[in-house]
Amino acid sequence: MDLIDTLVEKGLRRESPTRDEALAVLATSDDELLDVVAGAGRVRRKWFGRRVKLNYLVNLKSGLCPEDCSYCSQRLGSKAEILKYTWLKPEDASKAAAAGVAGGAKRVCLVASGRGPTDRDIDRVTRTIEAIKEENERVEVCACLGLLSDGQAERLRAAGVDAYNHNLNTSEATYGDITTTHTYADRQETVRLAQGAGLSACSGLIAGMGESDADLVDVVFALRAMDVDSVPVNFLIPFEGTPLAEEWNLTPQRALRILAMVRFVHPDAEVRLAGGREIHLRTLQPLALHLVNSIFLGDYLTSEGQEGKADLDMIADAGFEVEGADTTTLPAHRVRSAAGCGGGTCEPCGDARADDAPEPAADETGAARTDLVAVRRRGAGTDLPPNA
């Protein structure tokens, strides 16, 4: 395919595709899909080899968020029957993080629901980081605490945070359709504050909310313009009890095209396969490893993910290897000496679980698979051991 050959050549030079080329990737047929994956895979291997970075989520505070993000099970007015609890004690958060590190995670992502942290919350997170670093001194830490105020990013960096996550989620044109309690510009400003403090900036998107191809391309190009280090790609989990519960718009093939498009636009950035992979990619998850270089290990914020051992087996069986703690994630030309890390992500939105039930004989866009969504009932905030 002339299109894919062109995009591969551009990706190997770190050159951006045009907007029309990105749209064309999303418009390719199923017959062309393996060619698309192979082409984007060449770009992925150029900058990241066959390494897969493992990240582990710790939900420090779950539910009861005052924001009205339509996609989120923790939103204001959510009727999703998720775990709800206030701030974990530092020792409990450290225990949860240690389970992820023992399972192979290089980075721990600390997430808290809410509009944004107070200064007292920053103090809490600082004590939590101290407890985590005492047990695992070399682990990378990413924080995702919502909208930041002046000076808070600097405090987080001083506390030992390596990266900050705050996703743009969708295009600026449609942002008001999914959230009214804050703006697209608010999110952009938080990413800029993190970058200004020397933190590695992580910001991504959620696909499957009813957006158009143009919306997907717009947000992916907006992230490139902001020069973020890590781009998490979430696939909507239509939680019952949320406004988007009926939005089952994705197929495994569609999800792969979206990941390929993101890789072509962000050839040398960390592309993270985030929430929803088990539900929407299902048995095609291994193909996605040819496009992304980073995934979450185990469970998500409010739902259960694929078993940790299954994640490790999938990586090995597909011919990839887990990225070691001594390896810098990003290519040398992208590493910011101030941040000293490789980029990461953890956003309280995408959630998923791989179900043991057999796949249906045929998959149709819009067919609800609520049997694949399982609320998290283990790990942080419970008495049960975590999935790692």
Verify whether residue 144 is a known catalytic residue: no
Of the candidates 202, 341, 346, 349, the residue annotated as catalytic is 202
Instruction: In whole angstroms, give the CA distance from residue 164 to residue 211.
Output: 26
> Which listed residue (44, 75, 107, 142) is catalytic?
142
Cα torsion 271, 146, 341, 338: sign: positive
Cα separation, 109 vs 86, whole angstroms: 17
Identified catalytic residue from 44, 69, 124, 346: 69
* Structure-token pair, residue 270: 């960390």
Determine which one of 75, 109, 124, 157 is catalytic. 109
346 is catalytic: no
Element housing 68 (H / E): none
Specify the amino acid at residue 67. Answer: E
- The catalytically annotated residue of 44, 72, 187, 254 is 72
Catalytic site residue 349? no
| 147: nearest Cα among 95, 182, 173 | 182
CB 86 within 8 A of CB 113: no
| Catalytic hit among 124, 157, 257, 272 | 272
How far apart (Å, rounded) are the C-alpha atoms in residues 179 and 301?
Answer: 20
Q: Please give the Cα distance from 309 to 225 (Å, whole number).
A: 37
Is-contact 388 56, C-beta < 8 A? Answer: yes
Q: Which residues are catalytic?
A: 65, 69, 72, 109, 142, 202, 272
